[in-house]
Amino acid sequence: MDDWWRGCVIYQIYPRSFQDTDGDGIGDLPGIIARLDHVAKLGADAVWLSPIFRSPMADMGYDVSDYCDIDPLFGGLADFDALLARAHELGLKVIIDMVLSHSSDQHPWFVESRANRDNPRADWYVWADPGPDGMPPNNWVSVFGGPAWEWDSRRRQYYLHNFLTAQPDLNFHNPEVQEAMLEIMRFWLERGVDGFRLDTVNYYFHDRKLRPNPPASRDDPHPSVNPYEMQDHRYQKNRPDNLAFLGRMRALMDRYDERVLIGEVGETPQRAIEIMAEYTRGAGRLHMAYSFDMLGPEFSARHFRSRIAKYFKAAPDGWPCWSFSNHDVERHVTRWAKHAAAEDALARQAVAMLLSFPGSACLYQGEELGLPESELDFDELTDPPGIRFWPEYKGRDGCRTPMPWTKARNAGFTRGTPWLPIKAPQAARNVAGEERDAGSVLAFYRAMLAWRRSQPALGMGSVRFFKTAEPVLAFRRTGPDGMIACVFNLSASGVAVKLRELEPIVGAPVQDARIEGGVLRLGPNGFAFLAPTGGADAGRVVFKG
């Protein structure tokens, strides 16, 4: 079977914000089709579509009311088929978001389940009796704040919701629920999709005994903005039962050629890499997984080195997928701004580094333009946690604003009123403008992806880190065609690094780097790719000076 996913580059499309064609201000499938050439020209191997299923949109599509139909906001099944055909014509795989841990409270399954306690789907969701005092059965907290239990007057029971109250959790301990989810996956596999991105893949199973969560170990004595962060959610997610179901999903995928499962591991930095490794070890689980370890504020050589090394130590036969931005987090050029002298320099360094890491990579729409986070006012927000925790947490709308295509009205995204505003800093970084600039972030992304594709060591080679002090991250990737040394200055100040038997690779991407007398001098956010002058293992980065 072709392991095309190993070393691939996935481009995440947030459909609401990619391209609108009908003037309602919301992106749609015909709009994606019209803009797929941009993704192909960038050099990606696949697209991941955030949810497009029927939904009341309480959580922008992550609350599904029909898993086998397209929401009319985006089009219909015929539009999806046309998108799939066009993507395949362009050599792009199509991965769709599957939100299996919970559904919408408007899904027919939940409507039936909540009607009474003895209907055919009464046990399809997680229901629990109240305590003697009428309180929920335990202390579990929702990711979006407040108790994870909601009282239902019809059944006179509580139901579990790890997210919004409008997103009840399905009961995966029920074999019928597992079969229903596998059948949904079959529906889309038969339609021709190339894989699934599995939302909150570590949330499928809960502790049957509903044991209370212990408090989290925290260094900060002050309460968090979100009480969810105050617990160790050992009984609410990450249950060992998950592994058997992942095996069933993988067995289904293996009946089809060239398909892939990518899991989103929602977990704290203390455990995320461990779970990523556990879920991808061997041949009978996920093909790949990613976590939020590189989607946070940490930007240091120690951090990136430790995440990669820890993963491969725990899962030497596993495969990770790394990313720096997505629809759930602040865009990385804003998040890491204090480590950069200029946004564009950071944007170029970030993609050069990401595409040098062992594993696959995911790019989020707009990062190829160097888009910063949008600054929104409270009355412009749509994101539930942003509204709830404002102003300490401003939510996820800032990274979800529409894609800027041209300098025309609404940046060429819509002829109507966009569902989120397009601010001037984002509109200025439009695709058409950057295409005319040979020094733009977009031009660099295209060059970096093309060069990576020409270097087998970067796609599939092994990794070994050099011993360098902060802020220098240095490692070598070794493949059948030789070795590449990758050296990055993760700071806004210049650094010098001594080299032995290494020289610049002609034609390789580079930023603010020069070699003088065996010393590599890197300017702010500078980086270089080097090759050994002697044998395949001759090159060494000795120390930072």
Residues 292, 241 share a domain: yes
In this prediction the pTM is 0.96
Which of 412, 429, 452 delimits the end of a domain? 452
Residues 469, 446 share a domain: no
Cis peptide before 471 (omega within 30 of 0): yes
In a domain? residue 348? yes
In a domain? residue 108? no
Residues 291, 364 share a domain: yes
Residues 372, 329 share a domain: yes
**Phi/psi of residue 362, each to 5°?**
-125, 130
Give whole-number Cα distances, 447 to 42, 44, 80, 440, 450, in Å.
9, 12, 30, 11, 5
Query: What region does 109 belong to: left with phi over 0, alpha with psi -120 to 50, or beta?
Result: alpha
Cis peptide before 391 (omega within 30 of 0): yes
In a domain? residue 57? yes
In a domain? residue 522? yes
Instruction: Report pLDDT for 218.
Output: 74
Residue 99 DSSP code: -
Residues 496, 443 share a domain: no
Which of 403, 428, 452 delimits the end of a domain? 452
Instruction: Let me know if 305 is exposed, middle or buried by CB neighbors in 10 A (0-12, 13-18, 19+).
Output: middle
Instruction: Report pLDDT for 543.
Output: 46
Residues 500, 351 share a domain: no
Instruction: Let me know if 523 is exposed, middle or buried by CB neighbors in 10 A (0-12, 13-18, 19+).
Output: middle
What DSSP element (H or E) covers 433? Answer: helix 431-435
CATH number at residue 336: 3.20.20.80
Tell me which residue range forms the domain holding 492. 462-544
The Cα–Cα gap between 22 and 48 comes to 22
In a domain? residue 305? yes
Query: What region does 167 belong to: left with phi over 0, alpha with psi -120 to 50, or beta?
Result: beta
Residues 95, 44 share a domain: yes
How many domains does the chain contain in total?
Answer: 2
Residue 289 DSSP code: E
Query: What region does 99 belong to: left with phi over 0, alpha with psi -120 to 50, or beta?
Result: beta
**pLDDT values of the chain reduced to their tens digit, one per residue, 545 residues:** 479 999 999 999 999 999 999 999 999 999 999 999 999 999 999 999 999 999 999 999 999 999 999 999 999 999 999 999 999 999 999 999 999 999 999 999 999 999 999 999 999 999 999 999 999 999 999 999 999 999 999 999 999 999 999 999 999 999 999 999 999 999 999 999 999 999 999 999 999 999 999 999 877 666 788 999 999 999 999 999 999 999 999 999 999 999 999 999 999 888 999 999 999 999 899 999 999 999 999 999 999 999 999 999 999 999 999 999 999 999 999 999 999 999 999 999 999 999 999 999 999 999 999 999 999 999 999 999 999 999 999 999 999 999 999 999 999 999 999 999 999 999 999 999 999 999 999 999 999 999 999 999 999 999 999 999 999 999 999 999 899 999 999 999 999 999 988 999 999 999 999 999 899 999 999 999 999 986 555 556 654 44
In a domain? residue 3? no
Report, in angstroms and rounded to the nearest whole number, the Rg of the chain calculated over CA atoms: 24
The Cα–Cα gap between 386 and 378 comes to 9
CATH number at residue 522: 2.60.40.1180
Q: What angle do CA 329, 333, 339 make, to 5 degrees?
A: 115
In a domain? residue 312? yes
Q: Cβ(397)–Cβ(60) under 8 Å? A: no
Contacts of 534 (CB under 8 A, 6+ apart): 501
Residues 485, 441 share a domain: no
The terminus-to-terminus CA distance of the chain in angstroms comes to 47
Give whole-number Cα distances, 153 to 13, 107, 158, in Å.
39, 18, 9
Instruction: Let me know if 219 is exposed, middle or buried by CB neighbors in 10 A (0-12, 13-18, 19+).
Output: exposed
In a domain? residue 34? yes
Q: By three-state DSSP, how is residue 465 classified?
A: strand
Instruction: Report pLDDT for 1.
Output: 47
Residues 446, 518 share a domain: no
Q: Cβ(398)–Cβ(359) under 8 Å? A: no
Residues 483, 374 share a domain: no
Is 267 labeled as catalytic in the residue annotation? yes
Encode 468-508 in three state secondary structure: CCCCEEEEEEEECCEEEEEEEECCCCCEEEEEECEEECCCC
Encode 2-65 in three state secondary structure: CCCCCCCEEEEECHHHCCCCCCCCCCCHHHHHHHHHHHHHHCCCEEEECCCEECCCCCCCCCCC
Residues 335, 294 share a domain: yes
Residues 470, 365 share a domain: no
Six token digits for residue 443: 């031009």
Which of 427, 452, 477 delimits the end of a domain? 452
The one catalytic residue in 267, 343, 383, 434 is 267
What DSSP element (H or E) covers 179? Answer: helix 175-191
Six token digits for residue 352: 């050069």
The one catalytic residue in 71, 199, 264, 367 is 199
Contacts of 132 (CB under 8 A, 6+ apart): none
